[in-house]
Structure 1
Amino acid sequence: MNQPLRDDMDFRASVGDVTPLARSNQADAGNHRRKPSAAQLARRESAQEELSERNFLSDDFVDLLPPFDPIEYRQEGIQQGVVDKLRHGGYSVQAQLHLLRRPLAECRRMLFPFIQEAYAHDLRSVMIVHGRGRELDSPANVLRSYLAKWLGQFEEVQAYVSAQPSEGGLGATWVMLRKSQRAKANNRERQQKRRG
Protein backbone atom coordinates (compact mmCIF):
# COMPACT_ATOMS: atom_id res chain seq x y z
CA MET A 1 0.00 0.00 0.00
CA ASN A 2 1.37 3.42 -0.90
CA GLN A 3 1.93 6.20 1.66
CA PRO A 4 -0.85 8.64 0.58
CA LEU A 5 -3.48 5.88 0.75
CA ARG A 6 -2.23 4.80 4.18
CA ASP A 7 -2.34 8.44 5.41
CA ASP A 8 -5.91 8.78 4.12
CA MET A 9 -6.99 5.59 5.93
CA ASP A 10 -5.26 6.69 9.14
CA PHE A 11 -7.01 10.06 8.98
CA ARG A 12 -10.44 8.47 8.45
CA ALA A 13 -9.82 6.03 11.31
CA SER A 14 -8.82 8.81 13.71
CA VAL A 15 -11.72 11.12 12.74
CA GLY A 16 -14.35 8.44 13.02
CA ASP A 17 -18.00 9.15 12.34
CA VAL A 18 -18.44 12.82 11.42
CA THR A 19 -21.59 14.64 10.37
CA PRO A 20 -21.42 17.77 8.23
CA LEU A 21 -22.52 21.11 9.69
CA ALA A 22 -25.90 22.49 8.75
CA ARG A 23 -25.77 25.01 5.92
CA SER A 24 -26.78 27.89 8.22
CA ASN A 25 -23.99 27.03 10.67
CA GLN A 26 -21.12 27.20 8.17
CA ALA A 27 -18.64 30.03 7.91
CA ASP A 28 -18.91 32.23 4.85
CA ALA A 29 -15.86 31.41 2.77
CA GLY A 30 -16.79 33.76 -0.07
CA ASN A 31 -14.23 36.08 -1.56
CA HIS A 32 -16.44 39.15 -1.38
CA ARG A 33 -15.53 41.87 1.07
CA ARG A 34 -17.90 42.91 3.76
CA LYS A 35 -18.85 46.53 4.11
CA PRO A 36 -17.11 48.34 6.95
CA SER A 37 -19.14 48.72 10.11
CA ALA A 38 -20.35 52.10 11.34
CA ALA A 39 -17.63 52.07 14.02
CA GLN A 40 -14.91 51.38 11.43
CA LEU A 41 -16.20 54.19 9.22
CA ALA A 42 -16.25 56.56 12.20
CA ARG A 43 -12.65 55.65 13.11
CA ARG A 44 -11.51 56.22 9.53
CA GLU A 45 -13.24 59.59 9.38
CA SER A 46 -11.75 60.59 12.73
CA ALA A 47 -8.24 59.61 11.60
CA GLN A 48 -8.70 61.56 8.36
CA GLU A 49 -9.88 64.65 10.25
CA GLU A 50 -6.94 64.41 12.67
CA LEU A 51 -4.51 64.18 9.76
CA SER A 52 -6.08 67.14 7.98
CA GLU A 53 -5.92 69.19 11.20
CA ARG A 54 -2.18 68.51 11.45
CA ASN A 55 -1.64 69.38 7.79
CA PHE A 56 0.08 72.77 8.03
CA LEU A 57 0.53 73.22 4.27
CA SER A 58 -0.84 76.56 3.24
CA ASP A 59 -3.27 76.81 0.34
CA ASP A 60 -2.96 80.61 0.21
CA PHE A 61 -2.03 82.45 -2.96
CA VAL A 62 1.30 81.52 -4.53
CA ASP A 63 3.40 83.26 -7.18
CA LEU A 64 3.41 81.07 -10.27
CA LEU A 65 6.77 79.78 -11.44
CA PRO A 66 7.76 80.15 -15.10
CA PRO A 67 6.85 76.82 -16.74
CA PHE A 68 10.29 76.23 -18.29
CA ASP A 69 12.43 77.14 -15.27
CA PRO A 70 13.77 74.33 -13.05
CA ILE A 71 13.08 74.57 -9.33
CA GLU A 72 15.75 74.22 -6.66
CA TYR A 73 15.85 74.69 -2.91
CA ARG A 74 18.26 73.76 -0.15
CA GLN A 75 18.22 74.51 3.54
CA GLU A 76 21.05 76.48 5.03
CA GLY A 77 23.96 74.18 5.81
CA ILE A 78 23.25 71.72 2.99
CA GLN A 79 26.21 71.50 0.64
CA GLN A 80 25.78 72.30 -3.04
CA GLY A 81 27.38 68.92 -3.85
CA VAL A 82 24.43 67.14 -2.22
CA VAL A 83 22.00 69.15 -4.36
CA ASP A 84 24.04 68.45 -7.51
CA LYS A 85 24.10 64.73 -6.75
CA LEU A 86 20.34 64.81 -6.15
CA ARG A 87 19.76 66.68 -9.43
CA HIS A 88 21.82 64.18 -11.44
CA GLY A 89 20.08 61.12 -9.99
CA GLY A 90 22.94 60.14 -7.69
CA TYR A 91 20.49 58.79 -5.12
CA SER A 92 18.05 55.98 -5.70
CA VAL A 93 14.31 56.64 -5.64
CA GLN A 94 13.07 55.17 -2.37
CA ALA A 95 9.43 56.22 -2.86
CA GLN A 96 7.34 58.07 -5.42
CA LEU A 97 4.20 60.15 -5.21
CA HIS A 98 2.18 60.66 -8.40
CA LEU A 99 0.08 63.81 -8.42
CA LEU A 100 -0.60 64.03 -12.17
CA ARG A 101 -4.00 65.46 -13.08
CA ARG A 102 -5.24 65.60 -9.50
CA PRO A 103 -7.06 68.56 -7.97
CA LEU A 104 -4.89 70.92 -5.93
CA ALA A 105 -6.72 70.19 -2.65
CA GLU A 106 -6.21 66.45 -3.12
CA CYS A 107 -2.50 66.98 -3.86
CA ARG A 108 -2.17 68.95 -0.63
CA ARG A 109 -3.88 66.14 1.30
CA MET A 110 -1.64 63.50 -0.33
CA LEU A 111 1.69 65.31 0.03
CA PHE A 112 1.53 65.83 3.78
CA PRO A 113 1.24 62.14 4.83
CA PHE A 114 3.65 61.09 2.07
CA ILE A 115 6.48 63.25 3.44
CA GLN A 116 5.64 62.37 7.06
CA GLU A 117 5.59 58.62 6.37
CA ALA A 118 8.75 58.71 4.24
CA TYR A 119 10.57 60.46 7.08
CA ALA A 120 9.13 58.06 9.67
CA HIS A 121 10.45 55.12 7.61
CA ASP A 122 13.94 56.67 7.32
CA LEU A 123 13.70 57.30 3.58
CA ARG A 124 16.09 59.96 2.31
CA SER A 125 15.39 60.50 -1.41
CA VAL A 126 11.88 60.51 -2.82
CA MET A 127 10.42 61.69 -6.10
CA ILE A 128 7.20 63.57 -6.70
CA VAL A 129 5.72 63.39 -10.19
CA HIS A 130 3.47 66.38 -10.80
CA GLY A 131 3.60 67.19 -14.49
CA ARG A 132 4.51 70.44 -16.24
CA GLY A 133 2.29 72.68 -18.27
CA ARG A 134 3.38 74.88 -21.15
CA GLU A 135 1.35 77.88 -20.02
CA LEU A 136 1.95 79.91 -16.86
CA ASP A 137 -1.55 79.27 -15.50
CA SER A 138 -1.91 75.64 -16.61
CA PRO A 139 -3.08 73.28 -13.83
CA ALA A 140 0.23 71.37 -13.88
CA ASN A 141 2.26 74.56 -13.51
CA VAL A 142 -0.02 75.81 -10.71
CA LEU A 143 0.53 72.51 -8.88
CA ARG A 144 4.29 72.74 -9.49
CA SER A 145 4.31 76.26 -8.02
CA TYR A 146 2.37 75.17 -4.94
CA LEU A 147 4.59 72.12 -4.55
CA ALA A 148 7.69 74.32 -4.43
CA LYS A 149 6.04 76.38 -1.69
CA TRP A 150 4.77 73.36 0.27
CA LEU A 151 8.05 71.45 0.24
CA GLY A 152 9.81 74.45 1.76
CA GLN A 153 7.35 74.36 4.69
CA PHE A 154 8.50 70.90 5.87
CA GLU A 155 11.28 70.70 8.46
CA GLU A 156 12.05 67.24 7.09
CA VAL A 157 12.88 68.51 3.58
CA GLN A 158 16.54 69.43 3.22
CA ALA A 159 16.55 70.07 -0.50
CA TYR A 160 14.56 69.60 -3.69
CA VAL A 161 15.37 70.00 -7.37
CA SER A 162 13.73 69.42 -10.74
CA ALA A 163 14.54 65.99 -12.16
CA GLN A 164 16.64 65.24 -15.24
CA PRO A 165 14.80 64.86 -18.57
CA SER A 166 15.20 61.07 -18.43
CA GLU A 167 13.45 61.01 -15.02
CA GLY A 168 10.55 63.30 -15.86
CA GLY A 169 12.30 66.62 -16.31
CA LEU A 170 10.42 69.67 -15.07
CA GLY A 171 7.39 67.43 -14.45
CA ALA A 172 9.07 65.65 -11.53
CA THR A 173 10.91 66.81 -8.44
CA TRP A 174 13.58 65.04 -6.40
CA VAL A 175 13.25 65.59 -2.65
CA MET A 176 16.01 64.96 -0.10
CA LEU A 177 14.77 64.34 3.45
CA ARG A 178 16.91 64.80 6.54
CA LYS A 179 17.95 61.83 8.63
CA SER A 180 15.71 60.94 11.54
CA GLN A 181 17.17 60.74 15.03
CA ARG A 182 16.87 56.94 14.82
CA ALA A 183 18.84 56.85 11.55
CA LYS A 184 21.52 59.14 13.02
CA ALA A 185 21.85 56.87 16.07
CA ASN A 186 22.16 53.78 13.84
CA ASN A 187 24.80 55.55 11.77
CA ARG A 188 26.83 56.50 14.87
CA GLU A 189 26.60 52.91 16.12
CA ARG A 190 27.89 51.54 12.80
CA GLN A 191 30.76 54.04 12.81
CA GLN A 192 31.74 53.09 16.37
CA LYS A 193 31.76 49.38 15.48
CA ARG A 194 34.09 50.05 12.55
CA ARG A 195 36.53 51.92 14.76
CA GLY A 196 36.71 49.08 17.21
Structure 2
Amino acid sequence: MKNDDENDDFLFSQEMAGVHKLSDNNQVVYLKNHQKAARPQTPDVTEPENILTTGFLDVIDCAEPLEYKQAGVQQGVLDKLRQGKYPLEASLNLLRKPVETCRQELFSFFLQAQAQNLRTLLIVHGRGRHDESHANIVRSYLAKWLRQLDEVQAFSVATGKDGGAGACYVALKKSPQAKQENWERHAKHSR
Protein backbone atom coordinates (compact mmCIF):
# COMPACT_ATOMS: atom_id res chain seq x y z
CA MET A 1 0.00 0.00 0.00
CA LYS A 2 2.80 2.38 0.86
CA ASN A 3 4.38 1.80 -2.55
CA ASP A 4 1.18 2.98 -4.33
CA ASP A 5 1.09 6.17 -2.22
CA GLU A 6 4.73 6.91 -3.05
CA ASN A 7 4.04 6.27 -6.72
CA ASP A 8 1.01 8.61 -6.63
CA ASP A 9 3.07 11.33 -4.94
CA PHE A 10 5.81 10.95 -7.53
CA LEU A 11 3.33 11.13 -10.43
CA PHE A 12 1.61 14.15 -8.89
CA SER A 13 4.88 16.04 -8.41
CA GLN A 14 5.85 15.30 -12.05
CA GLU A 15 2.52 16.68 -13.31
CA MET A 16 2.83 19.81 -11.17
CA ALA A 17 6.47 20.56 -12.05
CA GLY A 18 5.81 23.71 -14.10
CA VAL A 19 2.92 25.09 -12.04
CA HIS A 20 3.36 28.41 -10.20
CA LYS A 21 1.12 30.09 -7.63
CA LEU A 22 -1.16 32.78 -9.04
CA SER A 23 -0.50 36.34 -7.97
CA ASP A 24 -2.67 37.73 -5.17
CA ASN A 25 -2.88 41.09 -7.01
CA ASN A 26 -6.03 40.17 -8.96
CA GLN A 27 -8.27 42.61 -7.12
CA VAL A 28 -10.12 43.99 -10.17
CA VAL A 29 -12.45 41.73 -12.10
CA TYR A 30 -14.26 42.88 -15.23
CA LEU A 31 -17.58 41.13 -15.34
CA LYS A 32 -18.45 41.69 -18.98
CA ASN A 33 -16.73 42.55 -22.20
CA HIS A 34 -17.21 46.31 -22.28
CA GLN A 35 -16.57 48.01 -25.62
CA LYS A 36 -14.47 50.79 -24.10
CA ALA A 37 -12.28 48.28 -22.26
CA ALA A 38 -11.04 46.78 -25.52
CA ARG A 39 -9.06 49.92 -26.38
CA PRO A 40 -5.41 49.79 -25.40
CA GLN A 41 -4.82 51.92 -22.35
CA THR A 42 -2.11 54.53 -22.56
CA PRO A 43 -0.46 55.10 -19.21
CA ASP A 44 -1.42 58.45 -17.75
CA VAL A 45 1.78 59.98 -16.45
CA THR A 46 -0.12 62.62 -14.48
CA GLU A 47 -2.50 60.47 -12.44
CA PRO A 48 -4.45 62.77 -10.15
CA GLU A 49 -3.60 62.84 -6.48
CA ASN A 50 -5.68 60.51 -4.35
CA ILE A 51 -8.39 62.68 -2.74
CA LEU A 52 -9.68 59.96 -0.39
CA THR A 53 -8.92 60.85 3.23
CA THR A 54 -8.18 58.59 6.19
CA GLY A 55 -8.64 61.13 8.98
CA PHE A 56 -11.52 61.07 11.44
CA LEU A 57 -13.86 58.13 10.91
CA ASP A 58 -17.45 57.89 12.06
CA VAL A 59 -17.78 54.09 12.45
CA ILE A 60 -21.05 52.82 11.00
CA ASP A 61 -22.94 50.30 13.10
CA CYS A 62 -22.73 46.76 11.63
CA ALA A 63 -26.53 46.52 11.51
CA GLU A 64 -26.87 49.76 9.50
CA PRO A 65 -26.89 49.06 5.75
CA LEU A 66 -24.65 51.14 3.50
CA GLU A 67 -26.79 53.42 1.39
CA TYR A 68 -26.40 56.85 -0.20
CA LYS A 69 -27.65 58.88 -3.12
CA GLN A 70 -26.57 62.32 -4.28
CA ALA A 71 -29.05 65.16 -4.23
CA GLY A 72 -31.05 65.16 -7.45
CA VAL A 73 -30.79 61.41 -7.98
CA GLN A 74 -34.21 59.80 -8.20
CA GLN A 75 -35.24 57.33 -5.50
CA GLY A 76 -35.98 54.77 -8.24
CA VAL A 77 -32.27 54.69 -9.16
CA LEU A 78 -31.34 53.80 -5.59
CA ASP A 79 -34.15 51.23 -5.39
CA LYS A 80 -33.02 49.47 -8.60
CA LEU A 81 -29.41 49.58 -7.41
CA ARG A 82 -30.37 48.04 -4.04
CA GLN A 83 -32.26 45.25 -5.84
CA GLY A 84 -29.26 44.48 -8.08
CA LYS A 85 -31.15 45.29 -11.28
CA TYR A 86 -28.30 47.15 -13.00
CA PRO A 87 -25.77 44.96 -14.84
CA LEU A 88 -22.42 44.90 -13.04
CA GLU A 89 -19.46 45.88 -15.18
CA ALA A 90 -16.52 45.48 -12.78
CA SER A 91 -15.72 44.33 -9.27
CA LEU A 92 -13.08 45.25 -6.69
CA ASN A 93 -12.11 42.94 -3.82
CA LEU A 94 -10.90 44.70 -0.65
CA LEU A 95 -11.14 41.69 1.68
CA ARG A 96 -8.50 41.46 4.43
CA LYS A 97 -6.43 44.36 3.11
CA PRO A 98 -4.98 47.22 5.16
CA VAL A 99 -6.96 50.47 5.12
CA GLU A 100 -4.27 52.37 3.20
CA THR A 101 -4.12 49.65 0.53
CA CYS A 102 -7.91 49.78 0.25
CA ARG A 103 -7.77 53.56 -0.16
CA GLN A 104 -5.21 53.37 -2.95
CA GLU A 105 -6.89 50.46 -4.76
CA LEU A 106 -10.33 52.09 -4.58
CA PHE A 107 -9.06 55.36 -6.07
CA SER A 108 -7.18 53.54 -8.84
CA PHE A 109 -10.25 51.36 -9.54
CA PHE A 110 -12.44 54.46 -9.70
CA LEU A 111 -10.09 56.14 -12.21
CA GLN A 112 -10.09 53.00 -14.39
CA ALA A 113 -13.90 52.81 -14.28
CA GLN A 114 -14.17 56.46 -15.32
CA ALA A 115 -11.68 56.01 -18.16
CA GLN A 116 -13.70 53.05 -19.48
CA ASN A 117 -17.11 54.72 -18.99
CA LEU A 118 -18.30 52.01 -16.60
CA ARG A 119 -21.53 52.76 -14.74
CA THR A 120 -22.22 50.01 -12.18
CA LEU A 121 -19.56 48.50 -9.93
CA LEU A 122 -19.42 45.95 -7.13
CA ILE A 123 -17.03 46.49 -4.22
CA VAL A 124 -16.47 43.59 -1.83
CA HIS A 125 -15.35 44.93 1.56
CA GLY A 126 -16.18 42.15 3.98
CA ARG A 127 -18.59 42.02 6.85
CA GLY A 128 -17.63 42.72 10.41
CA ARG A 129 -19.52 41.21 13.31
CA HIS A 130 -18.36 43.88 15.74
CA ASP A 131 -18.29 47.64 15.22
CA GLU A 132 -14.53 47.78 15.79
CA SER A 133 -13.62 44.78 13.59
CA HIS A 134 -11.31 45.41 10.64
CA ALA A 135 -13.98 44.57 8.05
CA ASN A 136 -16.36 47.12 9.57
CA ILE A 137 -13.63 49.77 9.69
CA VAL A 138 -12.95 49.24 5.95
CA ARG A 139 -16.72 49.29 5.33
CA SER A 140 -17.07 52.58 7.24
CA TYR A 141 -14.14 54.12 5.34
CA LEU A 142 -15.65 52.93 2.06
CA ALA A 143 -18.89 54.77 2.85
CA LYS A 144 -16.85 57.90 3.60
CA TRP A 145 -14.66 57.60 0.49
CA LEU A 146 -17.51 56.97 -1.94
CA ARG A 147 -19.17 60.20 -0.76
CA GLN A 148 -15.91 62.06 -1.51
CA LEU A 149 -16.03 61.03 -5.19
CA ASP A 150 -18.26 63.44 -7.14
CA GLU A 151 -18.90 60.90 -9.89
CA VAL A 152 -20.59 58.46 -7.49
CA GLN A 153 -24.35 58.87 -7.94
CA ALA A 154 -25.39 56.31 -5.38
CA PHE A 155 -24.30 53.22 -3.49
CA SER A 156 -26.16 50.48 -1.68
CA VAL A 157 -25.63 47.18 0.08
CA ALA A 158 -25.46 44.29 -2.39
CA THR A 159 -27.99 41.49 -2.68
CA GLY A 160 -27.15 38.09 -1.19
CA LYS A 161 -25.99 36.62 -4.51
CA ASP A 162 -23.33 39.36 -4.84
CA GLY A 163 -22.06 39.37 -1.25
CA GLY A 164 -24.89 40.80 0.84
CA ALA A 165 -23.77 42.97 3.74
CA GLY A 166 -20.13 42.28 2.82
CA ALA A 167 -20.36 44.14 -0.50
CA CYS A 168 -21.93 47.19 -2.07
CA TYR A 169 -23.12 48.31 -5.47
CA VAL A 170 -21.90 51.65 -6.78
CA ALA A 171 -23.61 53.65 -9.54
CA LEU A 172 -21.45 56.20 -11.36
CA LYS A 173 -22.64 59.21 -13.33
CA LYS A 174 -22.57 59.07 -17.11
CA SER A 175 -19.48 60.57 -18.67
CA PRO A 176 -20.00 63.67 -20.84
CA GLN A 177 -19.30 61.49 -23.89
CA ALA A 178 -21.96 58.94 -22.87
CA LYS A 179 -24.46 61.75 -22.21
CA GLN A 180 -23.83 63.13 -25.70
CA GLU A 181 -24.22 59.70 -27.31
CA ASN A 182 -27.45 59.12 -25.39
CA TRP A 183 -28.79 62.53 -26.40
CA GLU A 184 -27.96 61.88 -30.06
CA ARG A 185 -29.57 58.44 -29.98
CA HIS A 186 -32.79 59.80 -28.50
CA ALA A 187 -32.77 62.92 -30.72
CA LYS A 188 -32.81 60.70 -33.83
CA HIS A 189 -35.91 58.86 -32.56
CA SER A 190 -37.82 62.09 -31.87
CA ARG A 191 -37.47 63.42 -35.41
Please indicate the TM-score interval, normalised by the length of the shorter structure. Answer: 0.7 to 0.9
Give, in angstroms, the shift of residue 166 of structure 1. Answer: 2.2
Q: 1:69 aligns with which of 64, 68, 92?
A: 64
Q: Residue type matched to 1:80 in 2?
A: Q
How many residues align structurally? 149
| Cα contact 1:62–1:145 (8 A) shared by 2 | yes
Gaps of 5+ in 1: 1-43
Give, in angstroms, the shift of residue 181 of structure 1. Answer: 0.2
Q: Residue type matched to 1:190 in 2?
A: R
Q: 1:109 aligns with which of 104, 127, 135?
A: 104
Q: Residue type matched to 1:177 in 2?
A: L
Deviations 1:36-81 (A, max 9, x none): xxxxxxxx9x95xx64x61010010201111122111000000111
Q: Which has the larger radius of gyration?
A: 1
Q: Residue type matched to 2:188 in 1?
A: K
Q: 1:177 aligns with which of 168, 172, 179?
A: 172
| 2:176 is the counterpart of 1:145 | no
| 2:189 is the counterpart of 1:194 | yes
Deviations 1:12-33 (A, max 9, x none): xxxxxxxxxxxxxxxxxxxxxx
SS at match of 1:160: strand
Question: More helix by proportion, 1 or 2?
Answer: 1
Aligned position for 1:132: 127
Aligned position for 2:52: 57
Gaps of 5+ in 2: 1-42
Runs of at least 4 residues off by over 6 Å = none
| Cα contact 1:120–1:180 (8 A) shared by 2 | no
Provide the TM-score with structure 2 as the length reference: 0.74
Provide the TM-score with structure 1 as the length reference: 0.72
| Cα contact 1:95–1:127 (8 A) shared by 2 | yes
Identity %: 48
Give, in angstroms, the shift of residue 167 of structure 1. Answer: 1.6
SS at match of 1:59: coil
Q: Residue type matched to 1:174 in 2?
A: Y
Q: Residue type matched to 1:100 in 2?
A: L
Paired with 2:61 and 2:50, the residues of 1 have a C-alpha distance of 27
